[in-house]
Homo-oligomer: A and B are copies of this chain.
């Protein structure tokens, strides 16, 4: 059993040993640029940790972890184009630094490399591993599409919002857990519980992202304050604020969000203040976290094996970036 830091180090070693080809550098250099930007590597480490609940880490687990990280970064590269995002982890995004065409193609090739790592799995479970990976990949595309569709709508219901972030973010954390477990030989029942644990953790994680967009320290998050507000992205905060508003307030919040003015972020934060959105969001995050910890408790695995996973989950929920 290894801690987050130990597994991260192990993943980084494997990662460094599997470089992209050198040529054409115009294709592969942007991939390395994004991958070495200092991501948290949450998905690969969750996969390895989950695997280690059942079995020692082997090539199958490492290749799956690698596929998850490559796939995740591929989606980031493309999402940043679609969202017109100038910054990622405090650095210039790929399409801004290079070009949109580069970010499209380098993203595409990273996705194919993810599948190349999956194809290295040597296990009776390979079919179901790739099946779950594909199902999740499709859900993530659907979630991103809903996210974009929602930008055209003034407001969405909380149910719609939760469906969107479940698809866009949570399922990949659930799948990271489940793939590790499946390859470790976990029973179907146990894999499912670990999937649900990852999914709940993912929801808490995304809500924390929404929270940090407004209440985080930009020096730590590497993003501009209120970026989601500026781009009219639906978040838990805006959806909850709308849900809690009467007709007059709804008109106010709609007019506020349709402005393109500089003080839009300040006005939105003030509105959130009137509705206690900060406290409500923190409370909701803690509910999803508790649900995640309950699921982990329920998983039929020796308690002492779960220690590192618990620590990781706790640190993700205390994060400031």
Contact = CB atoms under 8 A, between A and B. Distances in A.
Interface of A: 23-24, 26-27, 78, 81-82, 100-101, 104-105, 107-109, 111-113, 115-116, 119, 127, 130-131, 134, 137-138, 141-142, 144-146, 148-149
B111 A119 contact: no
A145 B112 CA distance: 15
A161 to B, nearest CB: 15
A104 B81 contact: yes
A73 to B, nearest CB: 13
Given A82-B104, A115-B115, A115-B130, 11 more contacts: A24-B149, A27-B141, A81-B101, A100-B100, A105-B141, A105-B144, A108-B108, A109-B138, A109-B142, A116-B134, A119-B131
13 contacts: A23-B142, A27-B141, A27-B145, A78-B104, A78-B105, A82-B100, A82-B104, A101-B148, A105-B141, A105-B145, A105-B148, A109-B142, A119-B134
Contacts of A127: 119
Nearest to A145: B27
Contacts of A107: 108
B145 A24 contact: yes
